[in-house]
Amino acid sequence: MTTETQAEKKKVIFSGMQPSGNITLGNYLGALKNWTKLKDEYNCLFCIVDLHALTVRQDPTELRKRSRQLLMQYIAAGLDPEKNIIYYQSHVSAHAELAWILNCYTYMGELNRMTQFKEKSQRHSENINAGLFTYPVLMAADILLYQTDLVPVGNDQSQHLELTRDVANRFNNLYGQTFTVPEGYFPKVGARIMSLQEPTKKMSKSDENPNAYIALLDPPDVIVRKLKRAVTDSEGKIAYNDNQPGIKNLINIYCSITEESIESTVERFSGLGYGDFKMKVAEVVVEELRPLQEKFRELEKDKKYIDSIIKNNAEKASYIAAKTLRKVKRKVGLPNTI
């Protein structure tokens, strides 16, 4: 078998992140770090889903800057822009086109049930726009355009993936086999990392309080300071349970990085005070992020290289996406281009 045929046989993985803030240790441990383990085994597309970020008001200059930074952080974390397709969603117009078509095959009732819409419309009550409502349809288009087999998702996204599968099946039933129906890919490691200030809420890059999250590019002294300030409890005991969500979160962070078991971590640190334990966590976080931050700074200096990645990968993604879009247009009866 030639290398090319082997590559073709690999399953397709699609995943993405929104440049809606500076990505956090939560995004890294829950998604990015796991992606780096898949990058050789699968045909991977890792997207910067900038169109999705528009569902919440963004400062245009900041959005552009963060999108580029996110792309560089993907590479700095270990994704390979030669083997993986790393690109901006807005550079491949097929995403928006397919989303429109799929909007016509998705029911209001289905979208009304989406819990993320309910949650985000509460959080952004001043701006409940139609994009926020149809967000899952754009996500379905992202996935289906590439005939994706597997989508690494956290629990928070499983409802959207189910909708993608329903829409794909509906379309295939109406028009014959058009889309691969994707499955969720649930990584073995990748705890849900919680806010450092409200440990019952997930760590989010768009949190208004920067002390609630560790950004991947936070310098070591900032990481130490944020962890020292992390909210804990008055039990004074290192234990892993829901009554001590702050300490539980710090243990999860520590174990996700070191891959040590929770039991042995709790046992090893059981005699420590919270202050000392926080310093142990800070040490492993700083060391984990150090190489990523160094690589990021190198990449930042090489504008030409990053520009070439942006261009080449957008072309690769567009080529694959155009094939699916052409098929879809033909099936629904849109006229051929002349």
Residue 205 interacts with ligand AQP (CB under 6 A): yes or no: yes
- The residue from 55, 89, 134, 204 that contacts ligand AQP (CB under 6 A) is 204
* Complex with ligand AQP: residue 54 or 111, whichever CB lies closer: 54
Asked if 151 is part of the footprint of ligand AQP (rule: CB under 6 A), the reply reads: no
* Residue 119 binds to ligand AQP (criterion: CB under 6 A): no
20 part of the interface to ligand AQP, by CB under 6 A: yes
120 is catalytic: yes
Please report whether residue 17 would count as binding ligand AQP according to CB under 6 A. Answer: yes
Distance CA 159, CA 198 (A): 25
Strand ranges, E, within 4-133: 12-17, 43-48, 85-88
**How many angstroms separate the CA atoms of 65 and 101, rounded?**
31
Which residue's CB is nearer to ligand AQP, number 29 or number 224?
29
Q: How many CB atoms lie within 10 A of CB 205?
A: 19
Q: Across the chain, where does the E strand assignment appear?
A: 12-17, 43-48, 85-88, 150-152, 183-185
- Amino acid identity, residue 142? D
Q: Which residue is nearest to ligand AQP (CB)?
A: 30
State the catalytic residue, choosing from 10, 201, 205, 316.
Answer: 205
134 binds ligand AQP (CB under 6 A): no
Helix (H, G, I), strand (E, B) or coil at 125: coil
Q: How far is the CB of 172 from ligand AQP (least distance, A)?
A: 26
Q: Are the beta carbons of 87 and 310 closer than 8 angstroms?
A: yes
Contact flags string 30-49 toward ligand AQP, x per CB under 6 A: xx------------------
Is residue 217 within 8 Å of residue 76, measured between CB atoms? no
Single out the residue of 223, 224, 206, 204 nearest to residue 214, CA to CA. Answer: 223
Nearer to ligand AQP, 174 or 189 (CB): 189
Of the two residues 17 and 132, which places its CB atom closer to ligand AQP in the complex? 17
Q: Which of 33, 37, 39, 120 is catalytic?
A: 120
Nearer to ligand AQP, 21 or 245 (CB): 21
User: Using the rule CB under 6 A, is 182 a contact of ligand AQP?
Assistant: no
How far is residue 270's CA from residue 184's CA, in Å, rounded to a whole number? 37
Whether 205 is a known active-site residue: answer yes
* Sheet containing 43-48, strands listed edge to edge, beginning at the edge strand earlier in sequence: 85-88, 43-48, 12-17, 150-152, 183-185
Does position 202 bind ligand AQP by CB under 6 A?
Answer: yes
Radius of gyration of the chain (CA): 21
3-state SS class at 183? strand
Answer whether 104's CB lies under 8 Å from 65's CB. no
327 labelled catalytic: no
**C-beta closer to ligand AQP: residue 81 or 152:** 152
User: At a CB cut-off of 8 Å and minimum separation 6, what does 84 contact?
Assistant: 39, 44, 45, 46
Chain residues 215-254 in contact with ligand AQP, contact rule CB under 6 A? none
193 binds ligand AQP (CB under 6 A): yes
Stretch that binds ligand AQP, among 13-21, 83-91, 100-108, 324-332 (CB under 6 A): 13-21
Identify the active-site residue in 10, 188, 202, 226. 202
Return phi, psi of residue 18, to 5°.
Answer: -90, 135
- The token pair at 240 is 């892993």
3-class DSSP state of 86:
strand
* Residue 157 binds ligand AQP, judged by CB under 6 A: yes
Q: Kindly state whether residue 299 participates in binding ligand AQP, applying the rule CB under 6 A.
A: no
Please choose, out of 21-29, 94-102, 130-138, 226-234, the segment that lies near ligand AQP by the rule CB under 6 A.
21-29
Does 160 contact ligand AQP by CB under 6 A? no
Helix, strand, coil fractions of the chain, as percent rounded to 5: 60, 10, 35
State the catalytic residues.
120, 202, 205
Return residues touching ligand AQP (CB under 6 A). Answer: 17-18, 20-21, 24, 26-27, 30-31, 154, 156-157, 192-193, 202-206
